[in-house]
A and B are shown apart, each in its own frame.
Chain A
Amino acid sequence: MRFGVVIFPGSNCEQDVIGACRFLGLDAEFVWHGDTDLSRYDAVVLPGGFSYGDYIRTGAVARFSPVMSEVVRFAEKGGPVLGICNGFQILCEAHMLPGALLRNRGLKFICKTVDLRVDGVCDWLDRPIGTILQVPINHNEGNYTCDASTLARLNDNGQVVLRYCEPDGSTADEGSAPNGAVDDIAGICNERGNVFGLMPHPERVVDPVGGGTDGQPFFTTVVRKLAEVAG
């Protein structure tokens, strides 16, 4: 069981992901954006950062990196792919997940710990619906949007895995997403459930030194699921 953590020029959270994996006793290695062989890996993570300086749009250039064609193939075969923050933006630009991430409402970079409610399950997270997790966000473009039919499909299929919420788990009428995301969406998965993108940074709350451990299930769930598949 080995995680591959892709480094694009401008990624800056890859060490955090590797650190989180190693804290949990999981094998994890860096994958360069020019690499085209993912056969060594059982799960792939696109970490946060500012790939290609966020030029044109966040993730717009990274999606054309050589490694991305392989990430698409890896996901098509059912391989688990996790996109955190900039990684989520790249997955949307690559059309591996629907929708897009706009500038935060209010145009401010937001860096704080938020409450998230589990509203769905995927290969990366299968906590009971309604579970509240505290995970930090750290972004300028986390304002998730999609058209009305896509939003209805995401909700109907249970593809909205995480929503921003109030401390008691409710969502406010005016919205609980600090960035203005539609329907308070913080993380979504594809229909198959193996590709998961989220704006919050679970890797930062794996080792308790980061202020919490609510990020641990994001890494342990996929390990358990892969073990189940392997029998």
Chain B
Amino acid sequence: MARYEIFVTYKTGIFDPPGATAERALANLGYEGVEEVKIGKYIRFAGDVDLATVTEMCEKLLANPVIEDFRIETVEE
């Protein structure tokens, strides 16, 4: 069985509403120097599938290529 970690984030140039809100909220709390906060999704995936198939799953369902990028990391047992 293979284990993967998938990180889904908005593409550069796509407005990230939760990230922008966190950025403002941190500034309001007095944390200075916060320049860019981006919020994405973390998916942990285990199964008897190869990397190419996981990539296909991301393109088809787990991420929306119109607005999101994804990065897959293989977890060593």
Contact = CB atoms under 8 A, between A and B. Distances in A.
Contacts of A106: 17, 21
Contact of B66 (A56, A99, A104, A180): A99
A105 B17 contact: yes
A56 B61 contact: yes
Given A98-B66, A104-B17, A145-B67, 14 more contacts: A56-B61, A56-B62, A60-B64, A64-B61, A92-B66, A93-B64, A95-B66, A99-B66, A102-B15, A102-B17, A103-B18, A105-B15, A145-B15, A180-B17
Leading 8 A-B pairs by shortest Cβ distance: A103-B17, A100-B67, A100-B66, A107-B21, A105-B17, A107-B17, A57-B64, A100-B64
B20 interface: yes
Contacts of A86: none
Nearest to A99: B66
Interface in A140-195: 143, 145-147, 180
A147 B17 contact: no
Interface of B: 13-18, 20-21, 61-62, 64, 66-67
A191 to B, nearest CB: 17
Interface residues of A, number: 22
B18 A145 contact: no
A31 B74 CA distance: 42
Given A102-B17, A180-B15, A146 B64 contact: no
Contact of B61 (A60, A105, A145, A180): A60
Contacts of A107: 17-18, 21
Interface string A65-108: 00000000000000000000000000011010011101111110
Nearest to B67: A100
B14 A102 contact: yes
